[in-house]
Every structure is written in C-alpha cells, then in structure tokens.
Structure 1
Amino acid sequence: MGLTSTAVLAVVAAAAVALFAATVRFWPRLARPGAAAVSGRIGLLLATQLTLFAAVGLAANNAFLFYGSWADLFGQQQELGVVTDHEGGAEGSAASRHMTRIATQHPDVPGGRVPSAGGRIDKVVVSGRTSGIESPAYVYLPPEYFQEAYAGRTFPAAVVLTGYPGTAENLLKGLRYPQTAHERVKAGKARPMVLVMLRPTVAPPRDTECVDVPKGPRTETFFAKDLPEAVAGSYRVGKKARNWGIIGNSTGGYCALKIGMLHPDRYAASVGLSAYYRAAEDPTTGDLFHGRQELRDRADLMWNLENRPPSGGSFLVTTSREGEGNLTSTMKFIERVKAPARVSSIVLDSGGHNFTTWRREIPPALEWLSARLSAD
C-alpha cells in the first residue's frame, strides 16, 4: 500500500486506538513492581505513542502531500524503467527524442473520462538534451486539445513547479491545478493552456534552487531550454516566449520568478506564490556557487533588478499581511521592477505558507497567466 493510501492511514489509526484500549485494560496488571511489569508499561506507552504519531503524520501528509511515496519519504531514488524512443514519434504522441510518455490518467473533472470533455493527464519523462537531466513530469492537456474545432491549433503552455521537497503529485492532488484550470476555462475567465507539472528538485534529494551548479546539475538550463524544447517537440504548443509562462509556490515560486527574469526570451510571464527572492544556501542545497560571487549574484533577484538592465516580461507575486514571512521582501520586489517589465501582486489579509493559501491564489494566478500568453 502506498504512503498516501487511505488504507494505510486507516490501519495505523486503528492500531493506535487498539493500543490505547490495551493500555487502559492491562495497566492495572502492569502496575506492580518488577522488571517484567515495568517493561510492559514502557512497551505499551511507546507503541501507543509511536502509532499515534504515525497516524497524525500520515494524516498531515495526505492533506499536504509532503511526500508522495515510501521511497520519497526515505530519500531513495526511484528507478523509472523507461525505454526512450530516439526515432521520434507522431506529433502529439509524447514520444519525441527528449520526452517519453509512460502513463495517462483522467482529470478529476466532470466528463473526465472523455478527453474532449475533461482533457487528459500524461505522465512523462523529460530528458534534457543540453543539461543531461532526466525528470518525471505530468502534462495536463485541456479538453480543447482534443476537440475538432481546435485541430491543428497550438496552445499556450505553463510550467508549474512545487516547493521543496514536494512531489509533482502535490500539484494534482493537493493544489488541483488541472481541476482549477478546467473550472476557469468553463467559467469564461481563462483560455485553455497546457500545464507541465513537476518539482524543481530534478536532482533529488538535493535542492539545487534552479541553479546551474558548477560541475553539478544544470537545473537552470533544464528549465530555461530543455523542458520547453521537449514539450514543444511532443505537443501542440507554441515555441515563442509569448506562448510560455511559469508558476510555482515557495521554492518553485522563486525558481519561476528567476527563470522568467533571466530568460525573457523563453518565458513571457512568471508567477511566484509565496516566493523568496534569492537562492537558499543550507545543508539541503550544498555548495551551489563554489565561491563564485557572480553566480551568487545571478541567483539573487533583487541584485538583478538593481544591477542589470530591465529585462521585460511580466511578474505576479503573492504574499499576505499576516502569516507570510515574505511580505517586506515582496513589497521591495514590486518597487524595484522597472519598465519594460511589469509586475502585479496578490496580497491577502491573512494566509500562511501552506496549501490552503495557495489554493486561494491559484485561480486568479491562472487567469492572470492566461491573459498574458498567446496561442500563436
């Protein structure tokens, strides 16, 4: 049974209840002195507490999807077992030289089992031609992609990033990006877009902060060059900057803003939900810059705004007056963006650094993205 399975949660919760009941029942018998009685009391207390903590942890993980599998929880790299077709496939088949489709699933929307009514979600593996990075991702294709009226037409695309150490499944189950995109289009508030959903941790378990690490993972290159090329080679999406946007939360939000700022020739619009504005440097990142100050400066968005010529592109940043730690830095970011770049914001009265807050921000953020991207 998987880590996020409700059956696992039910079994562990039932075990916690059973052990609590056993403690109440057998405690009088174990109240006498002696090594056996003391050991019994210690064993019952430990077992009850461990199962209780496990049940609470599983419930929290199911709600926020910090980890998507047992292997992810224990930091084990999962073998995908994928054979890449280097001959290329038919257009739209996700079987290009640099992308392989390994599974499909139905979006959780009305009519989701019929692609022309609910769209489709492809699980793919992207192989970076330049970076050499290989990463799993999910590609949401809207219903219009399969409708005759849109046959032969290209669509705008948005890269969607989780935080660290989140999984791509967070974007499907916890943050509900496909469902929200579907609802916004049906409500006439957004245009259909292809969503490419993955985590920024493309070299797990290391948090590379979307940096090209000297002698290490070239994460910036993967997101700025390889990923758009692979997607455009497999699906009907545009290839120009005006066709592409990028959005993320927390670490993913920082990555989205940075990639958009440094590569306006690739991404026309960038959204940072609860983002921070310079690369983290801690035990999860390791040595990102190898002592090179110019690389550290490049990863600092405020430094770029102050020291580089304005780059263009559109930015959306979010924060809250109570509950977020990025309010002051977000206001500084807004002040420092200069034309030809443009900046917008969502400032909530209150909201923490969590899925509940981001679910309030994603609908207007997708509408904002849709208004700034074109299909051709």
Structure 2
Amino acid sequence: MGLTSNLVLALAIIAGVLLFAATVWFWPRLSGRTFRAYTGRIALLLATQLALFSAVGLAANKSFLFYGSWADLFGQETTMGKVVDHSMSSKDIKVVDKQKLDVPGGGRPAVGGQILKVSIAGEKSKITSPGYVWLPPEYFQPQHAKANFPAGIVLTGYPGTAENLIKGLNYPMTAYKQAKAGKMKPMILVMLRPTVAPPRDTECVDVPGGPQTETFFAQDLPQAIQSTFRVGKKAENMAFIGNSTGGYCALKIAAHHPKTFGTAVGLSAYYEAPNDPTTGDLFHGDAKLKDRADVLKSLAAKPPTGTSFLVTSSEKGEPNLGDTRKFIKGVKGPDRVSSIILDSGGHNFNTWRREIPPMMVWLSGRVQA
C-alpha cells in the first residue's frame, strides 16, 4: 500500500475513530490509581493521538505530495538514477526515463502520449535541473511526423517538486483529456520546479555572484526545448505557466522576454520577490535589480508586443487579490489579459485543480504550433 494511496488514508482515519471510541469505552475501567490503570490510559491516549496525527499527515501529504513513497518519507530512497540513451536526447536535454499515461492503450506513445523524465543543462547559466516533458499522442503519429507543436513551460511553487505537476495537478492527464475532447490543441509541456539551486529559493532572479536562474528559464530552457523537440522559435509558439512562486516567475519572465514567450499564466501568483531566510540576499543592495523583480513595475516597463496574460485569484482565501486587480488594470494594448476569479479558494492544490482545465483551453487559443 503506497504512502499516497486512498486505502492507507482510509485505514488511518478508521484507526483514529476506533481508538477514540476505545478510549471513551475503556476510560472508566482505567480510572484507578494502579500502575496498570496509568499505563492503560497513557497507551490509549498515545495510540489515539498517533492515529489522528497520522491521518492528518497522510491527508496533507496526499494533497501536497511532500513525499512520494514510504522509502522517501523515511530517507531510505537511495536508488541511483539510471541514464538511458534515447533518440530524443540532445546536448541540452538528456532523457533518463520514460513513463506512460494511465489511459487505455497508454503503453503505445501514439495512443497515450509519453512522459519523459529529463535532465536539462543550461548552456549560459551553467545550471542543470531535473524535470519532466509531456509529449502528446499526436507527436508520435505518422500524420503529424513533420508538424511543430506549441510548448508550455510549467513551474510548481516553492519548494515543490516537478512530480507534483504530474501527480498532484494532473497536467499531462488534463492536457490529454482536453485534447481528446477537442477542447484544446495538442501541446508539449515541460514541467519543472523553480528551485534550480536547492535548497535556495532564487525567485527566478539572476543573483549577483550567484545562480543565474532567470537566464536558465528565459534563455537556456527555451533553446533546449526548441533544439530537442518539434517546437517553433517564435513567441507565439511558447507559453510560461506556473502556480504560486511558479506563477510569479511566469508573469515576470514573460514581461521581461516578450520575444520568447507570447503567453503567460500566473495561478495564485504573487507580484514581488520575498526577502526571507529561504531567498537570502537576492539583489545585493541593487535597487534596479529589485525593481526588475517586481512584476507590476516590469509590466509597466514592458514594450507593447501583444503578449497574452492570464491571472487567477479568489474573492475569499487568496492573499493576492488586490495585486491581481492592479495587474489586470496595468495591462495595456496590444497586450491582452484574462482572469479566473473564484468566489472562494485557498492557496492550494484543490484551487489550482479547479483552474487548470479552463486555463488549458484558454491557453490553446493563444499559443500556436
């Protein structure tokens, strides 16, 4: 039984309920001052609380995917990655494994598409980052053998893992179902986390004397995608998508590099880089660098190129509503802006799972092959 399975969570909840009932039932019998009564009460309380905390922890892990397996949880996942040479590898992107999508006939890429586990090397930034690439079924079909596809870079929040985008936010499955239903065009998705210099949260900034994170995402990564897969080299061919920190990165980098990204999506994005122990000193006292990392100031300075933006928030539950409205107001033509504003929704996976399907349909109308 896997750590993230529904059965394990259900068993933990049942155990908590049964132990609570047992505590209520046996407590009068253990009310004496004997050693046996003391140890019995202590054992029941500890067992009940352990079961309840386990249920809460399992539910939180299932929602946010902090750990993928029992071995991962207990630090026993020591199996080294395997390097597999594939024809889709290039000097910038190395394919290290392949996964199928859990759909009927998914073992055949032309039917179910394919998820590639990759290592991406940045030529200019000298950053190497793991990630995943979703290739839709059409990519492998003979009638599309010479066709280009639109591509989207998708980032998680900090300190998430790229796997969250597959298991938690269901990007490949959502893209597969939407394309199969004719609601969106087939699209390549390149899924990463923004933490390319772990454990530091670099906020997609080129840190003076430190990690050149913006260079990696804005220059190295698009070049690697275009040189490895059948993706065009115009801004209309490439989108940048992200949630939380990833959404901040997507909006900021699209504003800085409109000739590379014609579309950007910020799900629950914030609009200014934080300054805390996880980030360290990002700007080294340089006010211009700090202003450049401000999304609203970057938007105001952006040349009018026709970039399409989508931003999301909630009337209740999201702290970014005010800044999101400022962003919407700050977009000037020929740039375009759309939004998803939920009545209620927190800063979590459940909220983003409600926004991703309509976002993907919207995205399909903006990016081109």
Same fold (TM over 0.5): yes
Q: Distance in 1 between matches of 2:307 and 2:77?
A: 36
The equivalent position to 1:175 in structure 2, one of 169, 181, 194, is: 169
Output the amino acid matched with 1:59: A
Contact 1:104 1:121 in 2 (8 A): yes
- Inter-CA distance 265–71: structure 2 relative to 1 (3 Å threshold): farther
Change (3 A) 1:157 1:78: farther
Tell me the secondary structure at the aligned position of residue 344 of structure 1: strand
Q: Which one of 354, 358, 363 corresponds to residue 364 of structure 1?
A: 358
Question: How far 1:282 sits from its partner (Å)?
Answer: 2.0
CA 156–75 in structure 1, closer or farther in 2 if over 3 Å, else same: farther
Q: What SS is found at the alignment partner of 1:324? A: coil
Aligned CA-pair RMSD: 2.8
* 2:119 alignment partner, one of 125, 129, 135: 125
- The one-letter code sitting in structure 1 at the alignment partner of 2:319 is G
Aligned-pair CA distance for 1:141? 0.6
- Secondary structure of 1:349's partner? strand
- Residue 283 of structure 1: aligned partner: 277
Give the one of 229, 234, 239 matched to 1:235.
229
Q: How does 1:217-232 map to 2 (within 5 A)?
A: 217-232=211-226
Question: Residue type matched to 2:96 in 1?
Answer: I
**Number of matched pairs:** 369
CA spacing shift, 1:255–1:2, aligned 2, 3 Å: farther
Does the C-alpha gap of structure 1 residues 78 and 198 become closer, same or farther in structure 2, counting only changes over 3 Å? farther
Mapped partners of 1:117, 1:189: distance in 2: 18
* Structure 1 stretch displaced more, 229-238 or 154-163: 229-238
Structure 2 residue aligned with 1:59: 59
Can you list the C-alpha shifts for 1:123-173, whole angstroms capped at 9, x where unaligned? 111122222222221111111101111012221100111122222222112
The 1-side partners of 2:305 and 2:112 are apart by 37
For 2:199, the aligned partner's letter is P
Q: Which moved more, 1:164-173 or 1:261-270?
A: 164-173
Whole-angstrom CA distance in 2 between matches of 1:322 and 1:14? 32
Give me the whole-angstrom Cα distance separating, in 1, the residues matched to 2:2 and 2:223: 33
* Counterparts in 2 of 1:76 and 1:264: CA distance versus 1, 3 Å: farther
Moved more, 348-357 or 22-31: 22-31
Answer whether contact 1:66 1:165 (CA < 8 A) is retained.
Answer: no
Alignment-mate amino acid for residue 292 of structure 1: D
Alignment gaps of 5+ in structure 2: none
Q: How far apart in 2 are the matches of 1:215 and 1:63?
A: 37
Give the drift of 1:176: 1.4
Encode CA deviations 1:36-71: one digit per residue, 9 max, x unaligned.
643553343123212321122112321342444568
**Does the 8 A contact of 1:321 with 1:349 survive in 2?**
yes
Normalising to structure 1: TM-score of the pair?
Answer: 0.87
Contact 1:313 1:341 (C-alpha < 8 Å) held by counterparts? yes
> How do 1:1-376 residues align onto structure 2 when only pairs under 5 Å count?
3-6=3-6, 9=9, 12-13=12-13, 16=16, 20=20, 23=23, 27=27, 30-33=30-33, 37-69=37-69, 81=81, 83=83, 90=87, 93=88, 95-307=89-301, 309-310=303-304, 312-375=306-369
Write the distance in 2 (CA, Å) between the matches of 1:215 and 1:2.
43
Q: Percent identity at matched positions? A: 64
Is the CA contact (8 Å cut-off) linking 2:82 and 2:97 kept in structure 1? Answer: no
Q: Hey, what's the Cα distance between the residues in 2 that align with 1:232 and 1:285?
A: 31
Q: Which moved more, 1:159-168 or 1:71-80?
A: 71-80
Change (3 A) 1:143 1:48: same
Distance 2:261 2:137 in 1: 24
What code does the residue aligned with 1:172 have? I
SS, match of residue 32 in structure 1: coil
Aligned equivalents of 1:9, 1:204: Cα separation in 2: 30
Distance apart, 1:219 and its partner CA: 1.6
State the SS of the aligned residue for 1:191: coil
What's the TM-score, normalizing by structure 2? 0.88
Cα distance in 1, alignment partners of residues 77 and 285 from structure 2: 29
CA distance in 1, matches of 2:56, 2:103: 29
